Structure 1
Amino acid sequence: MEKQNSLKKKTISGLLWSFGDLVGNQGGQFIIQIVLARMLLPEDFGLIGMILIFVAISNSITDSGFTQALIREQKVTQTDYSTVFYFNIAVSLFIYAVLYLAAPAISSFYSQPELTMLIRVLSIGVIINSFAIIPRAMFTKEVNFKVQAKVNLTASVASGVLAVGAAFAGLGVWSLVIRQLTMNAVQSLFLSLSRKWLPSLAFSWKSFKRLFGFGWKLLVSGLIDTIYNNIFFLIIGKQYSARSLGFYTNASKFSDVAAQTLTATLQRVTYPVLSSLQEDENRIKQAFRKIIKLSGFIIFPIMAGIAAIAGPLIHLVLGEQWAGMVIYFQLLCIAGMLYPIHALNLNILQVRGRSDLFLYLEIAKMVVLSLLIFLAIWFKLGIMGLVGVIVLDSYVALYFNTYFSAREISYSIKEQIKDLLPMYLVSLAMGFAVYMAGEYLFESDLWKLLFQISLGIALYIAISKLLRIQELTIIFDLLKPMLKKISFAKSSDIKKV
């Protein structure tokens, strides 16, 4: 019982700090992104968008699945960590050399001459990131996100200030490069200093083979997933203008603020926690079911609500020059409603050590996505068709993810749908009502936005209470201690006066 309570406290603490980390980090980056969007052109963001897939693939190869392998291992030695560290550094240097030499060819592919130097400079971040892999894995394995939260917030603020200064100085697209490299450097430096870990002068082939035996399947599936998530940057950048890609790039970034923040929080915390329960069939199923229901209850209304207020939100925050991204943003928010559910189901496969299924699953989803993209291009559906493919694919992929995880913990697709469907339908109904209210009741974007947000929160709570959705009670129970502390603090201040 004591062990169970300890695990519960560790999980809650990890969730709170991880969520605080991602909210602070993403929130800081969101604000910086807004400032930069007002100072730069959509074309500047489009140029960076063209490079994203290459940088993302490079980071996946550098990690090579070792992070997840280290987190999953019950006992990890200094030799294990040192072996992975040296491998990561060596691979990052090799990848940078490849990107440096390939930069002119990539530039030619997009017909954008300025990309050559942008790639060569931005890719330095791959090497910098490799130094942070081990410290980050250590903190994550311990479900310690407090230090990571502080480091990420510091990196977000420092990189944002420098980027805004560079944009103000007229450096254009290079301000985005400065932002990314500063972020990488600050994170790597402070994580390393906080951990105070140094590698031994040792490299063990035995450690490498053991960890890579689990990690290589995650590497391949991670590469497929990276391509899967970034292929649209490549296609839009090649087929359409840098301006169009700029709209899509920022729509993707802004929709990710909510969806990926919660997804990453859940994935980072639940993976080490569920890993510790991997031998207990009943406990892992019950824990997973509670997590997935609570995730749906929170993320569904947030994404549906953001999609509903997209018009006034973008006009007010970014300005009229970004009006072209509204529809992309709305569609990506609808697709993003399912991201946490995808991530949690995939976590089960990793916890169970089924990296083989993880790999087969990614291959199957990639085949489906390729077919959908081919059809969208064949029928000349344009960018709207491609973004529509993302939405459709998100729902198709859910079937694949839930099917395989259901086999591992006896939590069927039917059970998951039954648990999630009520809150999903309530969220869509709320979103539709909020959108329609904004269309007809106000002219001012500010008043429209304030009214829509208030209406959305009130509607969702009221309908959830009416339908007796249990997760509403859980949320209130979690908030009660915090509200009591705030109330006590206020009363104490009044007495002092």
Structure 2
Amino acid sequence: MTADERLGVSASRGAAVTLVGQGARIALLLTGVVVLARLLSPRDYGLLAMVMAVIGVADLLRDFGLGSAAVQARTLSVAQRSNLLWLSTGIGAALGLLVLVTSPLLAAFYDEPRLQPVAAALSVTFVLNGVMTQYKADLQRRLRFAWLTGLELAGQAVGIVTAVALAAGGAGYHALVAQQVVQLAAQLVGLLLVCRWLPRRWSREAPVRPFVSFGAHLMGGQVLAYASNNVDSVVIGSTLGPGPLGVYNRAFQLLVLPLYQLNAPVTRVALPVLSRLVDDPVRYRQFLLTGQTAMLNLVSAVLAFAAAQAPAVVLVALGPRWSQTAGLFQVLAVAGFFTMAGYACYWVYLSRGLTREHLRLSLVTRPVQIVLVVAGAQWGLYGIAWAYALATALQWPANLWWLHRVTDAPVGQIWRNGARTVLVYGWALVASATATRWLPAGSTWTALAVGAVALGAALALAALVVPAYRRDLQTVAALRRQLRGTPTATTPAADRNPGHLPAPRTVSEVPVAAASPAASPADRNPGHLPTTRTSTDVPVGGVGEISGGALSAPAARPSARATRPAPRPTDEEPR
């Protein structure tokens, strides 16, 4: 097996592991939502949402984009890694202290005294997140996705068990606070045991300025995004109170669950791989477009079904007292489709180090979203939901236009992929909702079954009449075969390496995961999603058909405007 194929297998295994792990996380999250929704009231969720909407900004600052900067860098010395950890920890500790000191002001802002101890308890999470950032980035750089996924899953399980136990004992909203703290603490313990390294003393010989510059621009864009995405919660909490906010928050979380939980693993695999492909435009384009195609189709299917059958889904997942959530979720689903369509643009900004350009775009689009949401508040919850959906729909074409101006990325194909997905799955959503419209009240499970069949039939019809969508499904099927396991000597080159991944340039750059089948961990870093996203923060290759000849294609010279040099420190640590 060649070096190209080894790296391709590592990335494929990482994607498979993270997708399976995300499936387990979604199941665990849904279980926690179902159980806790029956033990807690909308007011309990509203209290936590009121705090998180404000201190969540500080949670973005504690990372300062340094996790994504470490993942995106082509080389990273041990000394630089230690310096970055000290920086992340110091920022987290400072922000935690700030939240603790200002918690009385937060309670006064909402005129809700119970928020003060909630904010004070959550201040601990900033320190925990600050320490974890570089440990997660280290695992992600080495493509050890299985360990990362496993640790996050274990921490989440411990947090949910703790919350359920406390809620059953009558702890109310305190159970939700404990869930946040316990989950992170469990993850940190696991990371320390798996990574087995501690930071060295601060080294002046290990410059981190390029990382800080990358992270600062990324953080600026994330802060603007967070503010615009949470202004609705602030407006509802300050004008309508915790009860309506709890209802709105559950609708929003039902939207975020499939979007983030399925996107996170793709983004986390995409960022380190795309960062290695910036000097090879052919394979970069193939990996980017195939990753976009796979993610769009997987997430859209889930989102379209959930939106079409929202009343039944909400009844099963949350219970009858949350019935108001269904209509809000259907409105917010419009925003979900356009949010998902823009993920590929975010991958380009991160992998090419163009966080400054992304920040400049956010300085225009995010204030517009805030203005629209505030204006929509005069029409209540639905006015805010429609304003949020409209703002998100407007951001997508603006994002594509700006990406075309600052890079040579395949913007036209990115646009066609996204538009086709919105139209096809929008049609399937309408067909599914129409098929169950006249069913008698109370036939919840019948509605879910009929709706699923109608959705599948609508998509099958689309595949027959839309050749481009049919090619999309073939691409997803090819990736599914690739993710089943290690290729054999008889496997065609295109199937062995659908993402057309590059060979490491030096022996020291061979990922640990590529050399050791046991290496693993997961999707993470929601903070990377950059995940960096990443986190963020979840992927692979060419739209439609996958060309097996891409591995031998000569690398073209990238455009001068297309890529900003990544931080390239010296004294590289083996990846």
- TMscore range, shorter length: over 0.9
Distance 1:445 1:116, change over 3 A: same
Shift of 1:339: 2.7
How far, CA to CA, are the matches of 1:92 and 1:233 in structure 2?
24
1:467 matched to which residue of 2?
Answer: 466
Asked whether the equivalents of residues 93 and 130 of structure 2 are also in contact (C-alpha less than 8 Å), the reply is no
How far, CA to CA, are the matches of 1:400 and 1:7 in structure 2?
35
1:454 matched to which residue of 2?
Answer: 453
Mark the runs of 5 or more structure 2 residues left unpaired by the alignment.
487-575
2:391 to 389, 393, 406: 393
Shift of 1:478: 4.0
How far, CA to CA, are the matches of 1:58 and 1:190 in structure 2?
24
How far, CA to CA, are the matches of 1:55 and 1:23 in structure 2?
29
Matched, 1:434 2:435: no
Asked whether the equivalents of residues 281 and 409 of structure 1 are also in contact (C-alpha less than 8 Å), the reply is no
Shift of 1:10: 2.6
Distance 1:375 1:484, change over 3 A: closer
Matched, 1:249 2:249: yes
Asked whether the equivalents of residues 295 and 341 of structure 1 are also in contact (C-alpha less than 8 Å), the reply is no
Distance 1:374 1:53, change over 3 A: closer
Distance 1:407 1:6, change over 3 A: farther
Distance 1:309 1:96, change over 3 A: same
- 1:83-232 aligned at under 5 Å gives the runs 83-204=83-204, 207-232=207-232
Write the letter of the residue equivalent to 2:408: S
Distance 1:480 1:3, change over 3 A: closer
Give me the TM-score of the superposition, normalised by structure 2.
0.80
How far, CA to CA, are the matches of 1:67 and 1:483 in structure 2?
30
2:6 matched to which residue of 1?
Answer: 6
How far, CA to CA, are the matches of 1:13 and 1:199 in structure 2?
29
Distance 1:200 1:206, change over 3 A: closer
Distance 1:203 1:341, change over 3 A: farther
1:492 matched to which residue of 2?
Answer: none
- 1:23-422 aligned at under 5 Å gives the runs 23-204=23-204, 207-377=207-377, 380-411=378-409, 413-422=411-420
Distance 1:88 1:143, change over 3 A: same
**1:132 match: secondary structure:** helix
Asked whether the equivalents of residues 43 and 242 of structure 1 are also in contact (C-alpha less than 8 Å), the reply is yes
Shift of 1:316: 2.7
User: Which has more helix, going by share of residues?
Assistant: 1
Shift of 1:206: 5.1
Moved more, 97-106 or 38-47: 97-106
How far, CA to CA, are the matches of 2:477 and 2:64 in structure 1?
41
Distance 1:257 1:370, change over 3 A: closer
Shift of 1:125: 1.1
Q: CA RMSD in A?
A: 2.1
Moved more, 237-246 or 332-341: 332-341
2:17 matched to which residue of 1?
Answer: 17
Write the letter of the residue equivalent to 1:82: S
Distance 1:408 1:291, change over 3 A: farther
1:445 matched to which residue of 2?
Answer: 444
How far, CA to CA, are the matches of 1:418 and 1:221 in structure 2?
25
Moved more, 422-431 or 167-176: 422-431
Count the aligned residue pairs: 483
Write the letter of the residue equivalent to 1:110: Y
Distance 1:60 1:484, change over 3 A: closer
How far, CA to CA, are the matches of 1:205 and 1:96 in structure 2?
29
**1:46 match: secondary structure:** helix
How far, CA to CA, are the matches of 1:65 and 1:155 in structure 2?
23
**1:441 match: secondary structure:** coil
**1:440 match: secondary structure:** coil
**2:437 match: secondary structure:** helix
How far, CA to CA, are the matches of 1:260 and 1:139 in structure 2?
20
Shift of 1:481: 7.5
How far, CA to CA, are the matches of 1:155 and 1:291 in structure 2?
28
Shift of 1:338: 2.7
Shift of 1:110: 0.6
Shift of 1:419: 3.0
**2:108 match: secondary structure:** helix
Q: What is the percent sequence identity of the aligned residues?
A: 21
How far, CA to CA, are the matches of 1:202 and 1:269 in structure 2?
30
Asked whether the equivalents of residues 263 and 339 of structure 1 are also in contact (C-alpha less than 8 Å), the reply is no
Asked whether the equivalents of residues 266 and 344 of structure 1 are also in contact (C-alpha less than 8 Å), the reply is no
RCO higher in structure (CA 8 A, sep ≥6): 2
Asked whether the equivalents of residues 136 and 191 of structure 2 are also in contact (C-alpha less than 8 Å), the reply is yes
Give me the TM-score of the superposition, normalised by structure 1.
0.92
Asked whether the equivalents of residues 54 and 234 of structure 2 are also in contact (C-alpha less than 8 Å), the reply is no
Asked whether the equivalents of residues 99 and 119 of structure 1 are also in contact (C-alpha less than 8 Å), the reply is yes
Mark the runs of 5 or more structure 1 residues left unpaired by the alignment.
486-497
Shift of 1:5: 2.5
Distance 1:30 1:205, change over 3 A: farther
How far, CA to CA, are the matches of 1:389 and 1:66 in structure 2?
33
How far, CA to CA, are the matches of 1:272 and 1:192 in structure 2?
22
Shift of 1:466: 4.2
